[in-house]
Amino acid sequence: MKIIDGKAVAAEVLLECREEVLALVAQGIRPGLAVVLVGEDPASQVYVGSKAKTCGELGIHSEKIVLPAATSQEELMAVVRKLNNDPAIHGILVQSPPPRHIDESAVVRAIDPRKDVDGFHPENVAKLALEDPGGFVPCTPAGAMRLLAAAGIDTNGAEAVVLGRSMIVGKPMALLLMSKNANATVTVAHSRSRDLPAICRRADILIAAVGRPEMVRADWVKDGCVVIDVGINRIADSNKKSGFRLTGDVAYDEVAPKCAAITPVPGGVGPMTIAMLMKNTLQAARQSR
Ligand code: GUN
């Protein structure tokens, strides 16, 4: 059983990014990313902080815009429009999920698709479906694909099961796996699927992205399966200083022994999401020329 080291693969991606930042700066372009957070969700605060910190380490200009939870739709849209017109900013990300009174889909549509480094704008969703390389691929599924490649997993002709159908992970993940680059046979399963364990047992490659702690058990996977665990769930744990521990969507201890390869949580997909965001920001800066 091979543990796929997301931190190591992310470090590789960041090394590539650092070189590209130098090349862009030499051409007079300082890449810039704006990260917008509305409200005080503790996990989102951590993610947004890590994104800004990684930008700093790579020499990418970053702006962190933190707005109160009571920010109105119109105020948020005004912030997005201002960033659309800011030549120092090549990438814009509004951290999800926003407070409930915000229409997230309207906010995403307001982002200039050329700056939509999350790949959530309908124009970029279409480009992904069309396999147009000029679009932005959502960071988490892009990171999962890179982990499969780094671990030497051949997706061609493989049975891939994507557990979860979210806009951020499940749907784009399915598109990437069925693309002409990957050529997997893809099944998308979700909370309403009739027999989740039976569907998952078919998988050569299982992508767990449901946001349910340790839902995937040992009897859900076949021997030799490759498991990519996208879940990052906070579980109360009084033994931890923070008061919680992180766990994936997979019951790691019982599933890992059956796997050919598996990603841990933390240290698997998580670090890749930020690394791929940096890559997308550089793509945006490059394409702005
Ligand atoms: N929340 C969880 N993952 C993501 C992501 O990739 N982008 C944004 N904007 N919000 C998220």
Evaluate: CB of 118 within 6 angstroms of ligand 1: yes
For residue 23, report the distance from its CA to the centre of ligand 1, in Å: 28
Evaluate: CB of 273 within 6 angstroms of ligand 1: yes
pLDDT for res 106: 98
Q: Closest residue (by CA) to atom 11 of ligand 1? A: 96
How high does pLDDT run on average in the chain? 98
Tokens coding 32: 């810039």
Please state, as a whole number, how many other Cβ atoms lie within 10 Å of the Cβ of residue 50.
16
Residue 64 contacts residue 53 (beta carbons within 8 Å): no
Q: Which ligand 1 atom minimizes the distance to the CA of 118?
A: 7
- Quick: pLDDT tens for 98-154: 999 999 999 999 999 999 999 999 999 999 999 999 999 999 999 999 999 999 999
Query: What confidence tier does 74 reach under pLDDT thresholds 50, 70, 90?
Result: very high
pLDDT for res 265: 98
Identity (one letter) of the amino acid at 219?
Answer: D
pLDDT for res 135: 98
pLDDT for res 141: 98
Q: Catalytic residue positions?
A: 51, 95, 118
Count CA atoms closer than 13 A to 268's CA, side-chain side: 29
Q: Which ligand 1 atom minimizes the distance to the CA of 140?
A: 6
User: Cα separation of 98 and 238, whole Å?
Assistant: 28
Evaluate: CB of 140 within 6 angstroms of ligand 1: yes
For residue 224, report the distance from its CA to the centre of ligand 1, in Å: 31
Q: Going by C-beta distance under 8 Å and a sequence separation of 6 or more, which residues neighbour residue 240?
A: none
> Which of 168, 169, 274, 281 gets mutated to test ligand 1 (max ligand atoms within 8 A of its CB)?
168
How many residues are present in the chain?
289
For residue 223, report the distance from its CA to the centre of ligand 1, in Å: 32
For residue 252, report the distance from its CA to the centre of ligand 1, in Å: 24
Q: Closest residue (by CA) to atom 9 of ligand 1? A: 95
Q: Which residue in 137, 114, 116, 140 sits closest to 127, CA to CA?
A: 137
Evaluate: CB of 139 within 6 angstroms of ligand 1: yes
Cis peptide before 31 (omega within 30 of 0): no
Query: What confidence tier does 46 reach under pLDDT thresholds 50, 70, 90?
Result: very high
- Quick: pLDDT tens for 183-236: 999 999 999 999 999 999 999 999 999 999 999 999 999 999 999 999 999 999
Whose structure tokens read 């988490």? 140
User: Cα separation of 146 and 150, whole Å?
Assistant: 6
Evaluate: CB of 166 within 6 angstroms of ligand 1: no
